[in-house]
Structure 1
Amino acid sequence: MDLIELIGYVCALVIGIVLGLIGGGGSILTVPVLVYLLSFNPVTATAYSLFVVGISALVGAFRNMQKKLVDFKTAIVFSIPAFIAVYSTRKFIVPAIPEELGTIFGFLITKDVGIMVFFAFIMLVAALSMIFNKSMDVTDETSVIYNYPLVVIEGFVVGVLTGIVGAGGGFLIIPALVLLAKLPMKKAVATSLLIIAVKSLIGFIGDIENLDIDWTFLLIFSGISVGGIFIGIWANKFVNGKKLKKSFGWFVLIMAIYIIFKEFSM
């Protein structure tokens, strides 16, 4: 094991800790680590990210099921269009993207560059959400109303985005569950983890036939990340979640800007 690979595994631990602390942000770190540190191409990195985030979210979901915080009815309504969209995107759309997308301001936009720039845009949205979004907690448990058409549409949209960039999409799912299904915030976060796990892992299945998977690396990386989740959950007792989320949002914003400059300077 060389130094770069060792640093990569340390980053896997950090990814898990972040997930355990704030309940999201795993894919935002996973893809850049795999692309820029471990030199995977973006298509493979987004596929691996789906597996890492999916396994990690599944661990968190099981923990929340024990606390009876998961709303299974909402999870099913959201997950069905989401996993159909993410599987179809990884199986058919991503492989069909041409290697050269065109030129912008004299820069040749390749498939790899396009995926990373789009990923950076999603990071910007996530960062702004974490920095400026106020709590949308719903305390009235009896006010749950299921707006099925909008939940289904949101599920499909999040599924497509997940398929393209390998992001779990928690920053899109949680507001949808709060605003469209009127779930209390704690239940929305818990239910989001189950949705992320299901659609990410099913999306990864769409990659198995298209990519040569390094299972040894992927399982070790994912296992370390899962270990980090338990550390994050323990540390969460001693950390102000709102301040941490906002600080992480600024970090993500800087990373997004870095990715854009790096891709257009290559």
Structure 2
Amino acid sequence: MDVTEILGYFGAVIVGLVLGLIGGGGSILTVPILVYLIGLNPIVATAYSLFVVGVTSSIGAFQNFKKGRVDFKTAIIFSIPAFIAVFLTRRFLVPMIPTEVFSVGEFTVTNNIFIMVFFAIIMLMASISMIRNRKDKVEESSHQNIQFNYPLIALEGIGVGILTGIVGAGGGFLIIPALVILAKLPMKTAVGTSLLIIAIKSLIGFLGDIANLEIDWNFLLIFTFLSIIGIIIGVWLSKFISGKKLKKGFGYFTLFMAIYIIYKELF
């Protein structure tokens, strides 16, 4: 086992740690870790990411459920269209991406480059979402007075499901703002509910890959186990660490990673 592989396994713990602390964002690290440190093909990496993130998030969701921080009604309304979209995307859309997507002069954009650059664009969106100062307390005073916009929640579920299917990220950076703004959930409840939604749609999406890929279960289960250790530590640390400051710091790190991926893949 070389140094990069050891760093990859250590990264699995970091993925869980970040998920436990801020309810999202950790999944955005999984694909780069699997591709650049473990050395997996990007299509395989996005599939493995769905399993790792799905199982890890389910542990985090259960821990939040015990604290009363999961809104099941909202989770179901968001999850049903999301997991249908992610399953169909993984089962049919991703296998349809050609080996050579397009060419510009002598430069050919392969499916691997396309997925990684698209993933980096999603990371840029995630970093902006995490760096911006959202007024998370606004929903506390209006929670009982405003009707929940469930049709829009379901519609965003479809959009997040498609993105999740393509890049293998949980989409917490999109889900949490939707739950706060559209469902008027308190921030801590939005984090717990987000983890449940991420768990459901990621694992359903992974089922769409089983027929298309040969899964290395030994590696996948070890990587996932390390990520579970991370999320257990992260949920515990969330009692002592300011989630807002951590989220902004992680946002800048995600921004750096996105720029690095675009540079590495295109230049």
| Length-normalised TM-score, structure 1 | 0.95
Deviations 1:91-146 (A, max 9, x none): 00000111111124753111010000000000000001111132333113423522
Per the TM alignment, residue 17 of structure 1 is displaced from its structure 2 partner at its CA by 1.4
Deviations 1:190-217 (A, max 9, x none): 1111100000000000000100000000
RMSD over aligned Cα, in angstroms?
Answer: 1.4
Measure, in 2, the Cα distance between the counterparts of 1:69 and 1:85.
26
Which residue matches 2:184?
182
* Residues 205/229 of structure 1: CA separation in 2 closer, same or farther (3 Å cut): same
Which residue matches 1:206?
208
* Residues 169/105 of structure 1: CA separation in 2 closer, same or farther (3 Å cut): farther
Per the TM alignment, residue 185 of structure 1 is displaced from its structure 2 partner at its CA by 1.5
Which consecutive aligned stretches of 4+ in structure 1 deviate over 4 angstroms post-superposition? Answer: none
Measure, in 1, the Cα distance between the counterparts of 2:73 and 2:230.
30
AA partner of residue 183 (structure 1): L
Comparing 60-69 with 37-46, greater Cα deviation is found at 60-69
Deviations 1:153-211 (A, max 9, x none): 10000000000000100111111111111212121111111100000000000000100
Comparing 42-51 with 61-70, greater Cα deviation is found at 61-70
Measure, in 1, the Cα distance between the counterparts of 2:239 and 2:189.
19
Measure, in 1, the Cα distance between the counterparts of 2:77 and 2:238.
30
SS in 2 for 1:237: coil
Which residue matches 1:164?
166
- Please tell me whether the aligned partners of residues 94 and 166 of structure 2 are also in contact (alpha carbons under 8 angstroms): yes
Which residue matches 2:152?
150
AA partner of residue 27 (structure 1): S
Structure 2: stretches of 5+ with no match in the other structure: none
- Please tell me whether the aligned partners of residues 42 and 116 of structure 1 are also in contact (alpha carbons under 8 angstroms): yes
Which residue matches 2:261?
259
Structure 1: stretches of 5+ with no match in the other structure: none
Q: How does 1:198-237 map to 2 (within 5 A)?
A: 198-237=200-239
- Please tell me whether the aligned partners of residues 86 and 159 of structure 1 are also in contact (alpha carbons under 8 angstroms): yes
* Residues 66/105 of structure 1: CA separation in 2 closer, same or farther (3 Å cut): farther
Measure, in 1, the Cα distance between the counterparts of 2:240 and 2:154.
37
SS in 2 for 1:143: coil
Which residue matches 1:122?
122
Per the TM alignment, residue 21 of structure 1 is displaced from its structure 2 partner at its CA by 1.8
Measure, in 2, the Cα distance between the counterparts of 1:72 and 1:16.
22
Identity of aligned residues (%): 64
- Please tell me whether the aligned partners of residues 144 and 181 of structure 1 are also in contact (alpha carbons under 8 angstroms): no
Which residue matches 1:249?
251
SS in 2 for 1:103: strand
- Please tell me whether the aligned partners of residues 143 and 182 of structure 1 are also in contact (alpha carbons under 8 angstroms): no
AA partner of residue 122 (structure 1): I
Per the TM alignment, residue 16 of structure 1 is displaced from its structure 2 partner at its CA by 1.4
SS in 2 for 1:88: helix
- Please tell me whether the aligned partners of residues 163 and 203 of structure 1 are also in contact (alpha carbons under 8 angstroms): yes
* Residues 212/189 of structure 1: CA separation in 2 closer, same or farther (3 Å cut): same
Deviations 1:219-266 (A, max 9, x none): 00000110011222232333222111111111100000000000012x
Which residue matches 2:140?
139
| Length-normalised TM-score, structure 2 | 0.95
